[in-house]
Structure 1
Amino acid sequence: MTTVVWYKRDLRTRDHGPLSAAAELGEPVIPLYVVEPGYWQLPDTSARQWHFIEDSLADLRRQLRRIGSDLLVMHGSVNDALGRLAAAYPIKRVFCHQETGGQWTFERDNNVIGWCQERSIEFREWQQFGVVRRLQDRDLWDQAWSAVMRAKPPAVPERLIMPADLARLGTVITTPPTQQAGPCPDRQAGGSQRGEKLLASFLERRCVGYQYNISSPVSAVRACSRLSPHLAYGTVSLREVYQSAKATGQHSNSLPRKKRSLTSFRSRLHWHCHFIQKLEDEPELEFRAMHRELEGLKSGPGDSERLQRWQEGQTGWPLVDACMRALHLTGWINFRMRAMLMAVASYQLWLHWRNPALHLARQFTDFEPGIHYPQAQMQSGLTGINALRIYNPVLQSQKLDPEGEFIRRWIPELQGVPVDLVHTPWLMTPAQKERYGGNTYISPVCDHEHAARAARKAIGEFRKQHVSARETDRVLHRHGSRKGPVQRRPATPSRESPPDSQLSLFD
């Protein structure tokens, strides 16, 4: 009998429950990855994501060959791929990790389960990290997460039995047609080997000062672990990252500053799973507001010209535009800047959250649906339990890029503009523009301070008229963070958010 180990967002051999369990059976194992054209036509997927996966598949193949096996890569639907396998081999089991994705992958997984049930094939899923499927009580989540993080990872199999003549069914990895997000020449490369090297360099030296250096786009490039795409596609194990960070921080030779930095880093791993749990518990968050009564805050997508200028890095606010241009060419930007981009789109530009969220998803090499959609909504003021965070793009620029280093790197129109003017180039006189340049940089799309005040007022009035205590309490009970039983709260906006240094996408 043969077991199929179906790979999804878990492209590694280390800490891989399904692979380890399949090997222990002592029967042939088929490691399978299916390139699904339907998935790559979704509006939140892009070529940069695929190319990271492509790198990772090549690396996974090398890992599997070291233990006597290989990776079977097939194209089409998973059900069709399994059907072809079942026609050639006596398939008895399908093992895989749970995936918290969007509606498309949820329905795909259900179809695979149904296919297996119809043929009396055992289908079994493993929990990959601290997200709990069918969680009954959010009050117990933190305890469950800690138990997973402390558990000993399963060992890499010493040897796999590979069915005969497997290669004839497909090994060639070809690029599916994808939603395009533009060229990404500086994107991170995929694969477990690269992820493990990043982790080693971070734990050895880059982590020092982590909690202080991750907010600025200048320092974050090195201060952040840069493991986010590797965690998103499972080329490294979040549990092993957590355990390695904890062991390094507790080592007798670690300096106090390093210990504090790694404690902060581990808290981000906790929040990584905290946000994915939100989408796991309520998959509808991909499409509608977390606080259902806030769905009616904006009736349409908003001004298409404003959306386009935001997407192209042409808002006229230097830090906003520099971040978008950097993201377009690298596939990555640090969390504080991600939050600012989403908040500016939602408040100053008054765009419905969905189109900006989809655009950013396509730009992110490290797109993780369970983090992205709840975060996009939180930065848009749609949770009902978080304080509004309306970022002032000028103050953020002056604070996080005080010398204009990041701005000048990504906005060549402003390379000659001095520090005291680079954050507000629209205030330059004609004579200053003639002297320093900046004539070709676009004027702001609107007065950001006036737009922020108008947004705050509109949201406040909407909440007074349409937001109920009952719905706010539902959101808090289902998604609020806590380590003990949740306390009932009024419908007024709460301060559920921890400090910005903790509340984040994992970056």
Structure 2
Amino acid sequence: MITVVWFKRDLRVTDHAPLHDAARRGPVLPVYLFEPDLIAQADSSPRHLGFIQECLAELEARLAALGSPLQRWQGTAVEVLQALRDRLGPFRLSSHEETGNLASYARDRAVARWCREHGVEWQEWPSGGVVRRLHDRDAWSRLWMERMTPAPLAAPVALQPPPCPILSPLRLPPGGAPRHLAWHPDTLPDHPARQHGGRSHARQLLRHFFDQHLPDYRRGMSSPLSAGDACSRLSPYLAFGAVSVREIVHAVWRRRTELQAMPPDLRPRGELPGLKSFESRLHWHCHFIQKLESEPELECRDMHPAFAGLRDASFDANRLARWRRGETGFPLIDACMAMLRETGWINFRMRALLIAFSSYQLWQPWQKPALHLAREFLDYEPGIHYPQIQMQSGTTGINTLRIYNPVKQARDQDPDGRFVRRWLPALERLPDAWLFEPWKMPPELQRRQGLVIGRDYPEPLVDHEAAARHARDTLWRLRKEDAVRRESRAVYEKHGSRNPHREGTPRPRRPSPPTDSPQLGFDFG
């Protein structure tokens, strides 16, 4: 019987359990679906599709060399599967589990229903360290290690193709792009400054990170000036599966073994601490995806019910639009938006700053900003994105509030103003003394500098200090209520991180203080 291997966010042939299993069973038909309903979702973007197309080009070449080329299809998953059944007769379906948005979750439920109705066996394989139907969060760290310990699966030696060609109006030609797509109206176009897709780029980046940037990783990841070089930049390749988490974990372990075998005085300084930090983020990568896997509604619903609708009455379309356009009047916020718009990437600390500013200083509900950032982030990974957005917005009830001061962050992370001047040319000639608070510059000096606040650069949207006090007071007052504390314990039981060294010990009676632990995707890159 033919096995249809359905590629989703796993665009590779190495460490690919569905393909590995199908290759030993008989004929294999690899397929990738362009699903218009999913592409039209508000979190989808042309930059995502462009990156996917580049990953598919390498995947197609690899599968063709193995003997069974990838087929591209366009339509809903059920439409395509029905077309395949009409032409193939009975077949098996095999794919990785996917922790995606609510639309992909509904799609998978529809596929499962179709498979049951038509007697099609659909085998789903675990993806990374995410555990479907996890019953006890205390066991998750052990299960993650059990998933990561086996060696990554090798690519199949060869694939047996189906015995006859398959023709269908839903099938796209090799290398073909999807047709007649409808994007969300707020979607920005693709941009050539983003990273390019493909497994070869991921492998090259990993080698370069180990050889050149590992010693600088820990101290360089926070500043937008240094993070572009200090970080691995592997997150989009993980998000779309050009490389697996387990492959990178094993690369880290090999590198650590090599370093530990060296005499201590010959080890490159900073590499072992860098590896430790990097590995912890691979662990946190799966930890955050597990939250959405366990509660898919976190895409739109507050993790802690006491925070539901807290900011809804304060929604301000103008504030949101100015935040999106990078016209808040706070130079670091606006420079980050400019870089993100141009490249599809910004480092963790600045991502946290963007959503925190929207949530606390602007006091906006997190859902619409989350969708905007999802479209902008090339490395958008739903399972990381929505739990992280909620964590940075203060709606989890179990994480410390991090209300960033946008002026202090600018001085700390961009002390010479190089980042702001690069991305905000209007402020390029401003003296250092006024660069991060240009609204305080005297009118006469503004005229001499040729920059008038309110005309050439926006006035600040809010008094950021007063707004931060209001947000802090409101949220802490709510968090101190007994009913809110009780619900926080329930949230922690379901979603809270666990120290792996505490496995088997009694659970704490109240949520432990969280660590500021970024992970690949939302806050790593």
Q: TM-score range by the shorter chain?
A: over 0.9
Match for 2:516 among 494, 499, 504?
499
> TM-score scaled to structure 1, two decimals?
0.96
**Closer/same/farther in 2, CA of residues 404 and 34 from structure 1, 3 Å limit:** same
Q: Partners of 1:184 and 1:447 in 2: how far apart?
A: 34
Partner of 2:17: 17
Paired residue secondary structure (1:347):
helix
Partner of 2:474: 458
Q: Partners of 2:190 and 2:60 in 1: how far apart?
A: 26
Q: Partners of 1:227 and 1:13 in 2: how far apart?
A: 18
CA deviations over 1:1-50 (Å, ceiling 9, x no partner) = 2100000000000100000000011x110001110000011111111111
CA deviations over 1:112-169 (Å, ceiling 9, x no partner) = 1121222222110111200000011111100010111111122211110112443644
1:311/1:359 contact within 8 Å kept: yes
Q: Which runs of 5+ in 1 are unaligned?
A: none
Q: Write the mapping of 1:235-254 to structure 2, written as runs, cut at 5 A.
A: 235-251=242-258, 252-253=261-262, 254=267
2:283/2:519 contact within 8 Å kept: no
- TM-fit CA distance, 1:459: 1.6
Q: Partners of 1:468 and 1:398 in 2: how far apart?
A: 36
Q: Partners of 1:390 and 1:372 in 2: how far apart?
A: 19
**Closer/same/farther in 2, CA of residues 380 and 52 from structure 1, 3 Å limit:** same
Partner of 2:228: 221
Q: Partners of 1:459 and 1:307 in 2: how far apart?
A: 21
Q: Which runs of 5+ in 2 are unaligned?
A: none
Deviates further, 466-475 or 360-369: 466-475
Partner of 2:425: 412
Partner of 1:372: 385
**Closer/same/farther in 2, CA of residues 500 and 159 from structure 1, 3 Å limit:** closer
Q: Partners of 1:312 and 1:51 in 2: how far apart?
A: 22
Q: Write the mapping of 1:316-355 to structure 2, written as runs, cut at 5 A.
A: 316-355=329-368
2:128/2:147 contact within 8 Å kept: yes
Partner of 1:470: 486
How many residue pairs were aligned?
503
Q: Partners of 1:339 and 1:360 in 2: how far apart?
A: 11
**Closer/same/farther in 2, CA of residues 71 and 223 from structure 1, 3 Å limit:** same
Is structure 2 residue 263 aligned with structure 1 residue 260?
no
Q: Write the mapping of 1:177-196 to structure 2, written as runs, cut at 5 A.
A: 177-179=182-184, 180-196=187-203
1:183/1:329 contact within 8 Å kept: no
**Closer/same/farther in 2, CA of residues 199 and 114 from structure 1, 3 Å limit:** same
Q: Write the mapping of 1:20-419 to structure 2, written as runs, cut at 5 A.
A: 20-25=20-25, 27-166=26-165, 168-169=167-168, 170-172=171-173, 173-175=176-178, 176-179=181-184, 180-251=187-258, 252-253=261-262, 254-300=267-313, 302-419=315-432
> TM-score scaled to structure 2, two decimals?
0.92
CA deviations over 1:74-108 (Å, ceiling 9, x no partner) = 00011111111111113321000000011111111
Q: Partners of 1:364 and 1:318 in 2: how far apart?
A: 20
CA deviations over 1:349-380 (Å, ceiling 9, x no partner) = 00011111111111111110000000000111
Paired residue secondary structure (1:151):
coil
- TM-fit CA distance, 1:465: 5.0
Name the Cα RMSD after superposition: 1.7
Q: Partners of 1:258 and 1:168 in 2: how far apart?
A: 53
**Closer/same/farther in 2, CA of residues 329 and 446 from structure 1, 3 Å limit:** same
What is the identity percentage for the equivalent residue pairs of Structure 1 and Structure 2? 46
Q: Partners of 1:186 and 1:383 in 2: how far apart?
A: 35
Q: Partners of 2:55 and 2:161 in 1: how far apart?
A: 21
User: What letter corresponds to residue 177 of structure 2 in structure 1?
Assistant: T
**Closer/same/farther in 2, CA of residues 423 and 467 from structure 1, 3 Å limit:** farther
User: What letter corresponds to residue 187 of structure 1 in structure 2?
Assistant: R
Q: Partners of 1:207 and 1:21 in 2: how far apart?
A: 36
